[in-house]
Amino acid sequence: MRNVRVGILGAAGYTGGELIRILVNHPNAEIVFANSESNAGKKVYDVHDGLYGDTELVFTSEMPWNTIDVVFFCFGHGKSGQFLKEHQIPTSVKIIDMAQDFRINGEHDYVYGLPETHREQIRSCSHLANPGCFATCIQEGLIPLAKAGLLTNDVSVNAITGSTGAGQKPGATTHYSWRSNNLSTYKVFTHQHLHEICQTLNELKPISAPHVTDTLNEGYDTDGITIDFIPYRGNFARGIFCTSIVKLDKAQSAEEIIRLYKDFFADAIFTHYCDNPLDLKQVINTNKALIHVDVFGRKVVVTSVIDNLLKGAVGQAVQNMNLMFNLDENSGLNLKASAF
Amino acid sequence: MRNVRVGILGAAGYTGGELIRILVNHPNAEIVFANSESNAGKKVYDVHDGLYGDTELVFTSEMPWNTIDVVFFCFGHGKSGQFLKEHQIPTSVKIIDMAQDFRINGEHDYVYGLPETHREQIRSCSHLANPGCFATCIQEGLIPLAKAGLLTNDVSVNAITGSTGAGQKPGATTHYSWRSNNLSTYKVFTHQHLHEICQTLNELKPISAPHVTDTLNEGYDTDGITIDFIPYRGNFARGIFCTSIVKLDKAQSAEEIIRLYKDFFADAIFTHYCDNPLDLKQVINTNKALIHVDVFGRKVVVTSVIDNLLKGAVGQAVQNMNLMFNLDENSGLNLKASAF
Amino acid sequence: MRNVRVGILGAAGYTGGELIRILVNHPNAEIVFANSESNAGKKVYDVHDGLYGDTELVFTSEMPWNTIDVVFFCFGHGKSGQFLKEHQIPTSVKIIDMAQDFRINGEHDYVYGLPETHREQIRSCSHLANPGCFATCIQEGLIPLAKAGLLTNDVSVNAITGSTGAGQKPGATTHYSWRSNNLSTYKVFTHQHLHEICQTLNELKPISAPHVTDTLNEGYDTDGITIDFIPYRGNFARGIFCTSIVKLDKAQSAEEIIRLYKDFFADAIFTHYCDNPLDLKQVINTNKALIHVDVFGRKVVVTSVIDNLLKGAVGQAVQNMNLMFNLDENSGLNLKASAF
Amino acid sequence: MRNVRVGILGAAGYTGGELIRILVNHPNAEIVFANSESNAGKKVYDVHDGLYGDTELVFTSEMPWNTIDVVFFCFGHGKSGQFLKEHQIPTSVKIIDMAQDFRINGEHDYVYGLPETHREQIRSCSHLANPGCFATCIQEGLIPLAKAGLLTNDVSVNAITGSTGAGQKPGATTHYSWRSNNLSTYKVFTHQHLHEICQTLNELKPISAPHVTDTLNEGYDTDGITIDFIPYRGNFARGIFCTSIVKLDKAQSAEEIIRLYKDFFADAIFTHYCDNPLDLKQVINTNKALIHVDVFGRKVVVTSVIDNLLKGAVGQAVQNMNLMFNLDENSGLNLKASAF
């Protein structure tokens, strides 16, 4: 089978670099062009750490659509929609958008790219909206409960992200002098990923179960299901560590809850329920999501961990590309965990 | 006025070292002896980083009670009670115990040493139980709401601690190779500090307000007030960063809630309400507790931060010593924040 | 071609774990057994972070020699020799020893496993002594100069290593509380890797060039070539960053020196000369060694960087295994750089 | 005695903030104004971490010269000279300049502010050029040998600095995502601090000893004394860890060399020779310089450590202020080491 031919836009940013680091070793894909206006002519390894010796690829300002099968948009948020207004991409070219522009259902044909909930739609789509990093980590932890209709009361989520989540542009909160050994919160109860999280949870839940809202959309005093989400800035570069407290209507045994999770993820390639408590570094530099649950009466504490650049971004995007092109779902994604 | 003469037991551990680092510059106190059986004869600076040039003090295996006014127990938990059974300390010597042995009220005369709630009892006591580090950080964030009788529903607490909280003895979860860039949780819903936290909150609340219980003592299905506490191991050495979500019976304005906090801490020397969001390093190497509140309808998100070795341990212990000996409460505690 | 069948002894340590993380994805090798007396019966992922979902392998206390083609000794130093005295390994089983027991030439048939200098001997050997981590990083930086006979005066080496170099057993200098944000030196001028470094440099140099000695072997006042080596403990988990200052007999142009390096490494798969200055994270989680040179008159400053667990340990060991079994040299070693 | 009245220019930068953190607790000085054009009107604690609760000081755009006894220039390099051309400062106001503008002797009356070599000149000066951070750390390690006339051959210096040395403005090499767990070198052999280092060493050496040059000034092929200096960027916020290898004309005993150091620093308040090997965190958040020496034949390895913001910047500046105003040299500088 011919390799999938890939074009990358926004190839000089963090997600662009990580995508290239994956694709240079992908057995069924090849990078045809890596577009970056501002770096055109430079070697890719002059911008992206860790690629020296792996590729002689050069950034281009061109976009030769007829040479590729799929394009990855690695733009900042908001730019994807704008780009599509200004450029005509042939229908033969599939699109995988890393930004949030098309994650919420609406007047477009982008499929939401969370394989654990949308695998079949992904297989047959041409346009894909890749989920957000926080959104992925939180959803992986909550979807088994949502599907079982158990999200019938408050959900409190704490999730701590690494500095790569803030992108490549330096700023006050990514300055090493400030961020090292430090912690802080931001966008408390108002993080934009709540939208896509609630959309998935509502799609997934039984019709009879209550509608899931979020503090962002619906205000703070509703009696329905709400998701309270406190995002933290952590003092590490990669990863998201998330704990969610879900209060059930009535107590369930740990066995029942854990069974739900194991069944839900039985066919998932990269998401696994773990009997042992988790630590963040188990998933770093991998495309995995690991889930662990503790049950205390009617309270369920879910821990979920991912690498924000991989399962939370381009790893999942390549997983989606594999599905869209009928490749093995894990092709190119058997990554050695860094572990340390 | 004569200097307060201090003896230290367990002087070779982390809290012992930090206590010495404070006391060598305390204008109204002097260390008479630093006891460590296993290090007797060694210079203190051979064990404790950062004391070279500050003191020529030598560890001793002696305990000359008649030379001191106060003794600090810097033992591990459980050893203080045992020590008191085996040794007779003259009544002229006051005791400040860093361990948890006497924090819960019972058949003893130890006063719980949280100055923001027990200042007057501390001033007149001879025996003091210094609060736990997590307990201090969580309580500082909740006591204004408790006093106002507003803790009438669920309280979820996430608090992330530095590695010095785990003590000096090396182990798997304090190994640099594992802990760096890592996060994990432990004792989820079952951390022992919940006991002392609930004790204080119940003492403080109006009689009519509901009794505060915790997931540790009372099980998980009660309809009363419960504190759900998830402790995290953070990848930094010093500090605790805590967020608590408190659900009120009915919505209150941010102004009202903030006013409660400012009023409650109006006389506190080291605890301050901050209008700006907080970051952990603001308090590192200081005896401060800083508090910030965000209000969303009937949900209050409290952020509280301390240095676990200072306000969470020996800084607060020296604050208590100052009160017990009628010194300025901040004597010896005007520490330069490290900031970076 | 049949997969190379691998046995691992000492499989529960850091190098054992990293070796397993590589081999689970190696296209031409399979792990037949992972021996660990103390962990026999446990799942491998219960000990080694990052392997959950990758393998269901279980530690064993058995050593079924007839089922394997090669065994890796992941013991601590000194134990390999002892093991061989106590056990009879069939001659059909090749041995790759991670320890220093057979790195120095003597009454044994172990080939020193630095592919950039010993590739042909490695291809045909049955017993291989894998180089030390510092030794690898320093040698990669010096061997082109040695071969050219230019090591004719002092060589000063500073190399900073991550905490994984100190192994899995926790101790004072790997305690997170101490090591974070800290630096220190150890074994100044007396590190044991100097032996194998000087052995290689002397083998490689033209006969007419002066003999290379080291401060460890030969004392400190010699007028010959000596290598002064200051090892540092760095506050990171993975990697070695090394700078060597070499004083030439007479000034050479940067172009000449750089040409030497590029020529020497022209055929190397994993060692590359870089025109740009280096940073450590370029090689983390890869099997690469990157080299950069600055020339100032007759002084050459060489920077060399590796991942101590990969090119400095089991990555190089797998590279050697590939050579010993006539596989592609980079088989299983096209690892995605973590980069962040 | 009246407090020394202090004005600060450039008060919103890193050194400005650290200076304020020291002076708010200084028993004999008070901050009269903290000037920052761009932050005028803001509370100081809104800019500088760790000052909440310590001061209600507000940044000003005014410079009321007649209200102060001394002004600290906390500008970036080059701006101090420019400022003095544009402003007339009354002669009654002493000046302490943090920048490098007046460190090299010339047509000005600024005294070089290294108390261990220039204490008497400092006491009587009105204008002081505070040494650079690297310069301080390196000089403290070399001045006893220079004074003894022993710097008669090559000197190689490696010094690793924290990110605060790069200032407050965010950039690529201070981005957390890049700098964490990373190391790199910069300005190899060409760092500008070599100028002031060589100036001091030449002033100090016996007339008969050879002139000290540096790779920056004099080129790289001289046969005289040269200082080869490799600066590293470390992955920590505070501190400089430095090792210098000095080759003597002939071997000396360790005892003789150590005696030189102990004698030289006998009267120094903040610089101490340590018998034990050093680690960086011993000096963090203190004004100390600690020195340790290993001797191997005719090679002397000197380790020196400082906190770059304190002994390497404003701590030393306050030490100089104390000398200039006849205060106790350590007034306001008995800082608790952070240790962790």
Q: Residue A76 pLDDT > 90, yes or no? A: no
Q: Which of D184, D296, D340 is the closest to C279 by Cβ?
A: D184
- Write down the pLDDT at residue B226: 83
Q: State whether C174 and B177 contact (CB < 8 Å).
A: yes
Nearest to B159 by CA among A294, A235, A158: A158
Answering whether pTM is above 0.90, one says: yes
Distance CA D135, CA D141 (A): 10
List the single residue in D with minimal CA-CA distance to A179. Answer: D176
> How far off is chain C from A52, nearest CA to CA, in Å?
8
Q: Which residue has the higher pLDDT, D211 or B115?
A: B115
pLDDT of the residue at C221: 46
C-beta atoms of B238 and D309 within 8 A: no
Residue pointed to by tokens 């504190």: B227
Which residue among A181, A221, A277 places its CB closest to the CB of B281?
A: A181
Residue A30: how many other CB atoms lie within 10 Å? 14
Residue B225 has pLDDT above 70, yes or no: no
Instruction: Reply yes or no on whether the pLDDT at B222 is more than 50.
Output: no
Residues of B in contact with C175 (CB under 8 A): 163, 168, 170, 174-176
- CA nearest C156 in D: which residue? D156
What is the pLDDT at residue D224?
A: 56
* Residue partners of A277: CB distance under 8 A and separation at least 6: A292, A303, B184, B185, B186
Domains and CATH numbers, chain C: 4-130+312-324 (3.40.50.720), 133-308 (3.30.360.10)
| CA atoms of C48 and C42, how far apart (whole Å) | 11
Question: The tokens of A238 are what?
Answer: 């990669």
Which residue, among D156, D183, D309, would best test binding to C if mutated, counting the most C CBs under 10 Å from its CB? D183
- What beta strand segments (E) does B139-206 contain? 155-161, 184-185
- For C48, nearest residue in chain B (alpha carbons): B178
Give pLDDT tens digits along chain D (340 positions).
789 999 999 999 999 999 999 999 999 999 999 999 999 999 999 999 899 999 999 999 999 999 999 999 999 888 999 999 999 999 999 999 999 999 999 999 999 999 999 999 999 999 999 999 999 999 999 999 999 999 876 899 999 999 999 999 999 999 999 999 999 999 999 999 999 999 999 999 998 888 887 766 555 444 556 899 999 999 999 999 999 999 998 899 999 999 999 999 999 999 999 999 999 999 999 999 999 999 999 999 999 999 999 999 999 999 999 999 999 999 999 999 999 9
Query: Residues with Cβ < 8 Å from B219, sequence gap 6 or more?
Result: A297
Chain B nearest C-alpha distance from C133 (Å) = 16
Beta strand B240-247 with B299-306 is antiparallel
Nearest CA in chain C to A308: C340
d(CA C131, CA C189): 19
| pLDDT over 50 at A214, yes or no | yes
Query: Cα–Cα distance between A1 and B223 in angstroms, integer?
Result: 62
Chain B residues whose CB is inside 8 A of the A156 CB are 156, 245
CB pair distance less than 8 Å for C184 and D278? yes
Q: Percentage of residues in chain A with pLDDT exceeding 90?
A: 89
- In angstroms, the CA D84 to CA D74 distance is 13
| Residue B221 pLDDT greater than 50, yes or no | no
Enter the ipTM.
0.95
Give the pLDDT score at B153.
62
Statement: residue B36 has pLDDT above 70: yes
Mutation to test the B interface, candidates A158, A160, A164, A181, most B Cβ within 10 Å: A181
Rounded to a whole number of angstroms, the distance from the CA of D124 to the nearest CA of chain B is 27
Name the closest residue on chain C to residue D251, using Cα atoms: C221
Nearest residue to A248 (alpha-carbon basis) of A219, A282, A283, A210: A210
Paired tokens of B97: 């115990």
Q: Which amino acids of B are annotated catalytic?
A: 133
Chains adjacent to D (≥3 CB pairs closer than 8 angstroms): A, B, C
Q: How far apart are CA A29 and CA A22, in angstroms?
A: 10
Decide: helix, strand or coil at residue C331. Answer: coil
Q: Has C274 been annotated as catalytic?
A: no
Reported confidence tier of residue A292, pLDDT bands at 50, 70, 90: very high
The alpha-carbon gap from C184 to the nearest alpha carbon of chain D, in Å, equals 5
A299 with B236: Cβ contact below 8 A = no
For residue A256, what are the contacts with CB-CB under 8 A and spacing of at least 6? Answer: none
Distance (Å) from the C-alpha of residue C48 to the closest C-alpha of chain B?
11
Which of D163, D168, D176 is facing A237, going by the closest CB pair? D176
> What is the interface size between A and B, counted as CB pairs within 8 Å?
127
Q: CB A340 to CB B189 under 8 A?
A: no
Give residue B195's region: left, alpha or beta (phi > 0; psi -120 to 50).
alpha
> At a CB cut-off of 8 Å and minimum separation 6, what does D289 contact?
D116, D136, D137, D140, D270, D271, D272, D283, D304, D305, D306, D311
- Looking at beta carbons, which residues of chain B come within 8 Å of D162? 340
Residues of chain A positioned with their CB less than 8 A from the CB of C282: 49-50, 52
Mean pLDDT of A140-163: 93
Could you say which of A219, A278, A284 has the minimum Cβ distance to residue B184? Answer: A278
Does the pLDDT value for residue C219 go beyond 80? no
Q: Say which of B237, B303, B340 has its CB closest to residue A177.
A: B340
Pairing of strands A240-247, A299-306: antiparallel
H helices of C106-236, in order, are 115-123, 133-147, 176-179, 194-204, 215-218
CA distance A156 to chain D (A): 28
Flag if C158 and D220 touch (Cβ within 8 Å). no
Nearest-by-CA chain C residue for B163? C177
> What tens digit of pLDDT does each residue of A102-126 get?
999 999 999 999 999 999 999 999 9
List the structure tokens of B123: 């001033």
CB contact under 8 A, B162 and D17: no
Q: How many CB atoms lie within 10 A of CB D200?
A: 24
For residue C221, give how far its alpha carbon lies from the nearest alpha carbon of chain D (Å): 6
Q: Closest partner residue to A219 among B238, B279, B297, by Cβ?
A: B297
Instruction: Provide φ and ψ at D53, rounded to 5°.
Output: 90, -15
Of A220, A247, A279, the CB nearest to B183: A279
Categorize the per-residue pLDDT at A154 as very low, low, confident or very high, splitting at 50, 70 and 90. confident
pLDDT given at position D221: 46
Least confident of B94-98, C29-33, C331-335, D73-77: D73-77
Residue type, A240: I
| Residue C259 neighbours by CB under 8 Å, 6+ apart | none
- Min Cα separation B235/chain A (Å): 7
- Determine the length of chain B: 340
Of C21, C22, C53, the CB nearest to A288: C53
Which member of B276, B281, B309 has the closest CB to residue D50?
A: B281
**Yes or no, beta carbons of D339 and B290 under 8 Å apart:** no
Spatial contact of C309 and C18, defined as CB atoms under 8 Å apart: yes
Q: How many CB atoms lie within 10 A of CB C155?
A: 26
B4 forms bridges with which residues in the sheet? B29
Q: What is the pLDDT of residue D78?
A: 86
**E strand or H helix at B133:** helix B133-147
- pLDDT above 50 (res A221): no
Mean pLDDT, chain A, rounded, equals: 95
By the 8 A CB rule, do B135 and B193 touch? yes
Residues of chain C with Cβ-Cβ distance to A334 below 8 Å are 25, 54
| DSSP code, position C23 | H
Look at A50 and C279 and tell me if their CB atoms are within 8 Å: no
Residue to test with chain D: of C157, C163, C183, most D Cβ within 10 A: C183
Which residues in chain C are contacts of B48 at CB distance < 8 A? none
Instruction: Report the helix count and the strand count for chain A, using DSSP H and E.
Output: 9, 14
User: Who's near A106: CB < 8 A, 6+ residues apart?
Assistant: none
Q: Virtual CA dihedral for B292, B296, B297, B301, nearest 10 degrees?
A: -40
Residue B160, Cα to own-chain centre: how many angstroms? 14
Query: Is the CB of D160 less than 8 angstroms away from the CB of C183?
Result: yes
pLDDT band at B78 (very low <50, low <70, confident <90, very high): confident
Catalytic residue numbers of A read 133
- Give burial (CB, 10 Å; 0-12/13-18/19+) of C218: middle
User: Cβ A168–D179 below 8 Å, yes or no?
Assistant: no
Among candidate residues B195, B160, B193, the one with its CA nearest the CA of residue B179: B160
Residues of C with CB under 8 A from a CB of B: 14, 49, 162-164, 166, 168, 170-172, 174-181, 235-237
Q: Do B281 and A156 touch (CB under 8 A)?
A: no
The answer to whether the Cβ–Cβ distance between A168 and D175 falls below 8 Å is yes
Q: Minimal Cα–Cα distance from D249 to chain B, Å?
A: 32
Residue B54's contacts (CB-CB under 8 Å, 6 or more residues apart) are B21, B24, B25, B45, D334, D337
